[in-house]
Structures are given as C-alpha cells and as structure tokens.
A and B are shown apart, each in its own frame.
Chain A
Amino acid sequence: MAAKRLNLREKYQKFTRDLAWEPTYQKKSDIFPQTEFEGIHIHDWDKWEDPFRLTVDAYWKYQAEKERKLYSIIDAFSQNNGQLNVTDARYVNALKLFLTGISPLEYAAHRGFAMAGRQFGGVGPQVACQMQSIDELRHCQTQIHTISQYNKYFNGFHDWNHMHQRVWYLSVPKSFFDDAMSAGPFEFVTAISFSFEYVLTNLLFMPFMSGAAYNGDMATVTFGFSAQSDESRHMTLGLEVIKFMLEQDERNVPIVQKWIDKWFWRGYRLLSLVSMMMDYMLPKRVMSWKEAWEMYFEENGGALFEDLSRYGIRMPKYWEVSVKEKEHLSHQLWATFHNFGHAAAFHTWIPEESEMQWLSEKYPDTFDKYYRPRFEFWRQHTKEKGRWYNPTLPMLCQTCQVPMLFTEPDDPTQICYRSSQYNGEQYHFCSDGCKDIFDDEPEKYVQAWLPVHQIYQGNCGGASIPEVLEYYHLVDGQDNKEYLESNDRANWLRWKGMADTEADREVQAVVNE
C-alpha cells in the first residue's frame, strides 16, 4: 500500500489543533475562564497562524542536541577554570546583575507562559506558549549552571533568588514580571512576547551575550548562542500574538495600543539597568547604550511600527522621551549605583581615564558637560577622604521602582518629578510614562512592594543599613561596595599572579581601540 504523504502544515494541524474538541459536559468558559475579562474579542481561534511547526519529538531531538553541546562546554569551562580568562574581574559584576536580575525573570516567564499555555482557548497559542514555557525554564537553569562556576570564585552571586525578592533595585525587574503575570493572558503575552521579546530583547540579550563574547566569558556566550534559536522562536510568537489580536476584532486595537504604550515604557525603564551595564560595567565595551538604542529601537523598532500602522497601531507613547534620554541614561544610573554601592550586590567603581575618554567620544554632547565632573569629583574625594556612600535611602518611582534619578527630558539639570493623588494619598513618579501607567490602574500600582517604603515600615529586618543588608543576605564587605577594595579584586590579582603595586589603584581598563 503506497501511503500518501501529508504536508507539514496538514500534519501539524492534525497533531495539535485537531486534538481539541468542543466540550459539552462542561462549559468552555469554565475550562478557559480567563479569555474574556480583559476585553479582547476572539472570534476564531483557528485563524491563529502557527509561527513554527515543531512537533514534540522534533523539539526533543533539537533541544537535546543543543543541551549536550552546551553542557560539554560548561564542563570544559569549569575544568579549565575558564573564569580566569575574562578580561578583568570587574566584568563579573555584569554577570551578578544578570543572575540576580534576569535569570529570575526567565523563571517567571516559565510560569507565566505555563499560565497562558493553559488559559488560551485555542490549541495553536496553547502549544506555542507551552513550548516557550519550557524554553524559559531551560534558560533559567542553563544560566544557573553556567554561572555556578563564577559563584564558586566570586562574591555577590551566592543568594541570587533570595536577593531578587528583596534587594531594592531588584524590585525593578521583579515588579515588571509580577505586573505582567498578574494581568490576564492577553496582556501577559503582549507585555512579554511582543513588547519585551520582540521589540526590546536585542537590548537585553545582545549586550549581555556580546559583552560575554567581548570579555572572554566563553561559558556565558555559549549559553547565548545556544539560546539564540529559542529566542528567535519567541520573537516570532510575539509578532504573531499581536497580529492575531489585531486581526480578530477592531475593538482590540485600542486595548493593544494601550498595552504597547505601557509595556514599552515598563520595559524601557527596566533596560536602564542594562544601559549602565553596557557603558560602565563591561571592561571591554561592545557599543554604547546610545548606539544600541539607535540601532535596535529607533531603526528596527521604527520599521516594525511602520509595518503595524496598517492595523492602526502607532509608535509607543513617549518613545521620543527615550530618544532624548539616551544621552543621559547610563551615566545617571551608574552615578546612583556608585553612591548606593554599599547596598548593592555587585561592586562599583569610578571609570578610569581611558574609559572616561571612551564615554566622551560616545557622548560628545553630554558626558564631559554633565557627568565627567561628577566622577572626577568623586575620585578626588575618595583619594582625599575615602570612598563616600550615600547614607540615606532614595525615593522610588511608584511604577517602575527605579530611584527618582531621571532628569526632565529637556533639562538635564532638573530631576523629573511627577505625582498623582489616589484615595487621599500622594504617589510619586519618575516620568510621564510611569504616571500614565499608574493613573490607568491606580488600584493595582498602590499595592507595589516598594523596597524603601518597606524598610521605613520596618519590614526589612530593621532601620539600620547592617540590618537591612542582613535581611538581603548581602554580606557586608564581600558582596557590596567599592571594587578597588574588594575581595574579588584581591583574589583576582592573586590568581592571575599580578602584583597590587599601582600606587593609585586604578581599575584595569580594557578599552577598545
């Protein structure tokens, strides 16, 4: 009997969508109770175009192959003490930010996509979300396994998830994902699959993975290469999600636009942490934050939104503000972390002269004028009076939870303050973008677990810095403070057989030509 061959599309249809049926013993709305409350109208789940047609057996085969390769490289890395081959021990601080700030988000994505993969009313999006759910678990776990070796030789990594749930600046990434997961399934995928994965992922993934490649971190860059094909699947899903909602019903358009506005701004504020990583934390820099924002958001993002304009979708609100801020963002962030470095789970330092030169070249209109003098002042101050840390606590934005450090879009000498009244209380914001988000759902954002408020309310171990650090599991004198005075640096010099002879203890710069 000569069997006919099914084409891939037919086969995939039978292997996924055809598995579902119209229930008769239970109501469909009881089986999928979350598909309507957000106001999104779906008429025909079958109109979902599968962005990739991967059957489970093929998934196992490809993914196992990637895992085998990745783990053999991680093994080789550990066996050969690959951590000693990075450009400079300062680089490792970028990884600390990654493990405490980003890896927990991979886990959150795992659970969030499991929720969406259970809640969507059509098999197409269910399967796509489920695959992404386990991919995200993969990313979280392979990151832990990659960075495990660093944890054995450097401080700051050791209690990454405990810190993620408590440390002040880590509430920025945590609240971002809590926000998405506590919304409904459609807003979740708009937030994560589209706004984050599709529009902004190049600004998160690229800097860390390219940073690893530029700085000799073979383990992390291998993880990056290994995750790349997963990421492209996730990005494709992000675009499909948006198109599907927009094509199903025109009443969806304003809702989706509102979510795009919100999640662009939420994501952009989260990325401000990445901006300082790119410009200040990588000993060997890949490109400046400003260049990255121009390439990945202004050019690529611009083209994307032009393409979406046929659905009635425009550029996210306040994108112009992000363009104005690109000249300032990383400097303002690093200055703040430098001042609060005693309460951070990574080391901070003043850029060395050749690094300042690089910043001057990359930011000719702003660095020398506004920021170099501050860093030079602090360097001088450290030489004369010792390293200074800010003993107070910063006010945080009620929405993004970044300290109120951003300046007015048109005046870099004036901190930007916005506020709203709700139920007789006043709430503070860093920007119009964050204020708008609050004003649209105040009952949600008043719930925010703001680390500084929590400290003052006595919920973080006590009112003194040592008590709070203990609550964070942040070991004073090991995990925090100045790089030049750190155990990390002392160990590094010892392992590398380098003498600590430089009288002024400058940081070691590895600046691109």
Chain B
Amino acid sequence: MAIEIKTASIEPIRHTFSNVARRQGADKPASRYLEAMYDLQPTVNFHYRPLWDPDHELYDTGRTAIDMADWYAFRDPRQFYYGTWTITRSKQQDVAERNYAFVDKRNLLDLVGAGTRERAEAVFVPLRHAEYAANLNNMYICAYGYGTAITQAASFNAVDRLGIAQYLSRIGLMLDGNTCESLDRGKQAWLEAETWQPLRRLTEDLMVTRDWFELFVAQNFALDGLSFPLVYERIDGELQKDAGSTISMLNEFMNEWYGETSRWVDSVLKTAAAESDANKAQIEQWARHWCDRAGEALQPVATEVFGERADEVMAGLREELATRAKKKAGLDIE
C-alpha cells in the first residue's frame, strides 16, 4: 500500500537559471552538472590585460588554433562536477586501498620472482615523473583553456595525475620495503638511463607547448593513448605470467581510470573535429605528429620488456589508437 505524506506544495516561479534555460531552449529543470558548469567563466568586459600575456585577455579564445562557435559544446560524458568527481574517485580510492592492504597483508609481492619485481620496478617507478608532467600539463589546460566545460575536466585530470604519480610511488615503496631505494633508482633512471631519455625529452617538450588544445591532443590523446595501453595492459600482461594478478591489483586504479578518461578525451576530440574542417585538419596534424613522438619515446621502454618484439607491440598500439581515433572521434591519423 502506498502511503502519501502530505506536504505544503508551492509552485516555483522558474525552474533553472536563465543562462541554462537559454541553452536548453526552455525553462525546465536542469541537472546539477549543467547548472554548475555552463557559463561559469567570464567572457566579456575584462578590466586589465595580463602582465604575463598582454596580447590576450585574461580568458581568450586566441590561445589555441582551434576555433569553436560554442566552447560549451565540450560537455563531459561523465558529467563530472567537483562533487561527482570526488565521490567517484573516493570509491576507486577505497578499492585501491583494499587492494594494497590485501597485497601487503598476505605478503603477495614476496611470492613474485625477483626478476619480475625488478622489471616491475624498472617500468612503473620512473613513470611517476611522467605523471607529474601530465599533472602540470593538465593544470595548464585548466589555467589557459577556454570555457568551464573543458577547463574543469582538465583540472580534475591534473589532480588525478598527481594521484597516479603517488600510487606509482607507493608501488615503489611496496617493492623496496619502504626504503625509498626504488624511488631513488627510478629517478636516476629517469634522469640518465638511455631507456627513459626520449620520454623525458618528450615530457619536457610538452611542458613548453603553448597552444593548450595542442597540449590536450599531445598529452591526453597521443602520449596517454600509447603509454597507458603499453604499460597497464601489455606490460602488465607480460608480468602476470610470473606475478599472477598481484601487480595488476596495484595498477587497477590506473587501468580503470584510463578507460573512463578516454571517453572524455574522445568526446572532446570528436566535438572539436566535427565543428569544422580546419579544426579536424589541425587536430589530425597534431595527433600524427605527437603520436610519432610518443611512439618513439616509448619504444625503448617497450624494448626493456619485449626485446625484439617491441616494434610489433608498438605498431599494434599505434594501430589501435588510430582505430580508436577513427571510431570515436572521426579522425584520420593513420
């Protein structure tokens, strides 16, 4: 039987904010995502030119070669605003915490062969520095990008990347028994080992890339699009042969994160490319260029694990990425 609670009902005089109503074409109730995302960034009547960039306004569409009639077309398929983002991440963080505790409590890493442990350390630990660069790059997109739709998502991505850098550091500490030796070795390798120099060079080049949308393509599509599948699928799969699922449990966050984040990246690219042929051509040119750079940069890392098969692995990843670009974003980057 349905029980009805009587409440005083009063009629609202409007259902959402005017800017949201204009975008929806009607005054109808809007989601929390839309009310706290649309038009947050000022667009007109700026008072002073930035001392650090007098050629542009504080917020300026001219900081990228990409052109959009409406910058709020970049709606996030995940509908992340601060609340939904933190709550999603805290759930994933709970799972990660349980995984780490499980591996720790059962001493599962002790069951993994020394060679596999060394290999895991050699691949995962130096990557925390690459994640730090990804953090700064996404902060750059948030800082200098245009329109809250894309900039807020970039700020979440930036903090995610710092989180991943910290998970990778924890993996190092678990492997070295909290001595920090793995972190020191990893940093040494990042700075000096031949394996890591092309990737370090690429990350430093990205940190001076000025067009924020190019940076988005280079970091979030090209480099992530090759490195995450390489590291957290291919290399992880290789390590599983000896380590079982122990190391995969420690990587679960990154794996899941990449799948989720790719949906956002693909939708941004698809929207920008669908806007105009000029956008599409520009993005394709950037994507090809940075995929080439990322492929070259990751080749030596793949070689560490796959030896002679590295070429084949990297070619396969590049092909998969091209397929993804075609299918999800309508881009031709073969």
0/1 per residue, A102-119, Cβ < 8 Å to B? 001001101100110110
Is the beta-carbon distance between A30 and B14 smaller than 8 angstroms? no
Is the beta-carbon distance between A159 and B107 smaller than 8 angstroms? no
Is the beta-carbon distance between A152 and B204 smaller than 8 angstroms? no
Bound together, the chains give a CA A141 to CA B187 distance in angstroms of: 39
| Distance to closest chain B CB from A428 (angstroms) | 16
Bound together, the chains give a CA A166 to CA B169 distance in angstroms of: 48
Is the beta-carbon distance between B183 and A14 smaller than 8 angstroms? yes
Is the beta-carbon distance between A56 and B166 smaller than 8 angstroms? yes
Chain A CB within 10 A, most for which of B41, B47, B50, B142 = B47
0/1 per residue, B112-129, Cβ < 8 Å to A? 000000000000000011
Bound together, the chains give a CA A178 to CA B90 distance in angstroms of: 34
B102 on interface, CB distance cutoff 8 Å? no
Residues of chain A contacted by B16 (CB below 8 angstroms): 148, 151-152
B35 in complex: contacting residue of A21, A123, A144, A447, CB < 8 Å: A144
| Distance to closest chain B CB from A501 (angstroms) | 21
Residues of chain B contacted by A158 (CB below 8 angstroms): 14, 17-18
Is the beta-carbon distance between A162 and B13 smaller than 8 angstroms? no
0/1 per residue, B150-178, Cβ < 8 Å to A? 01100110111011011101000100011
B156 in complex: contacting residue of A61, A115, A134, A145, CB < 8 Å: A134
Residues of chain B contacted by A117 (CB below 8 angstroms): 139, 143
The closest CB in chain B to the CB of A106 belongs to B40
0/1 per residue, B34-77, Cβ < 8 Å to A? 01100111111111111110000011000000000000000000
Bound together, the chains give a CA A296 to CA B179 distance in angstroms of: 47
Residues of chain B contacted by A107 (CB below 8 angstroms): 40-41, 148
Is the beta-carbon distance between B47 and A134 smaller than 8 angstroms? no
Residues of chain A contacted by B179 (CB below 8 angstroms): 4
The closest CB in chain A to the CB of B183 belongs to A14
A447 in complex: contacting residue of B36, B49, B94, B129, CB < 8 Å: B49
Residues of chain A contacted by B82 (CB below 8 angstroms): 67, 134, 137-138, 141-142
Bound together, the chains give a CA A382 to CA B142 distance in angstroms of: 51
Knowing A3-B177, A4-B177, A141-B83, say if A181 contacts B58 (CB, 8 Å). yes
Bound together, the chains give a CA A404 to CA B33 distance in angstroms of: 40
Residues of chain A contacted by B18 (CB below 8 angstroms): 158-159, 162, 473
Residues of chain A contacted by B47 (CB below 8 angstroms): 171, 174-175, 178-179, 182, 447-449
B96 on interface, CB distance cutoff 8 Å? yes
B290 on interface, CB distance cutoff 8 Å? no
The closest CB in chain B to the CB of A31 belongs to B207
Knowing A130-B139, A145-B32, say if A21 contacts B191 (CB, 8 Å). yes
Knowing A134-B82, A151-B14, A152-B13, say if A111 contacts B143 (CB, 8 Å). yes
B201 on interface, CB distance cutoff 8 Å? yes
Q: Which of B4-12, B219-227, B255-263, B271-279 contacts A (4 or more CB under 8 A)?
A: B4-12
Task: Give A residues with C-beta under 8 Å from B.
Answer: 1, 3-6, 10, 14-16, 18-26, 30-31, 33-34, 37, 55-57, 59-61, 63-65, 67-68, 70-71, 80-81, 84, 104, 107-108, 110-111, 114-115, 117-118, 123, 126-127, 130-131, 133-134, 137-138, 140-142, 144-145, 148, 151-155, 157-162, 164-166, 171, 174-175, 178-179, 181-184, 444-445, 447-449, 454, 473, 487, 491, 495
10 residue pairs of the A-B complex, CB under 8 angstroms, read: A19-B131, A26-B205, A61-B94, A130-B162, A138-B83, A144-B35, A152-B14, A159-B19, A181-B50, A447-B47
Task: Give B residues with C-beta under 8 Å from A.
Answer: 7-8, 10, 12-19, 32, 35-36, 39-52, 58-59, 81-83, 86-87, 89-91, 93-94, 96-97, 107, 110, 128-129, 131-132, 135-136, 139-140, 142-144, 148, 151-152, 155-156, 158-160, 162-163, 165-167, 169, 173, 177-180, 183, 187, 190-191, 200-201, 204-205, 207-208
Interface pairs A-B: 7 shortest CB-CB: A64-B90, A56-B163, A19-B132, A152-B12, A141-B36, A114-B143, A159-B18
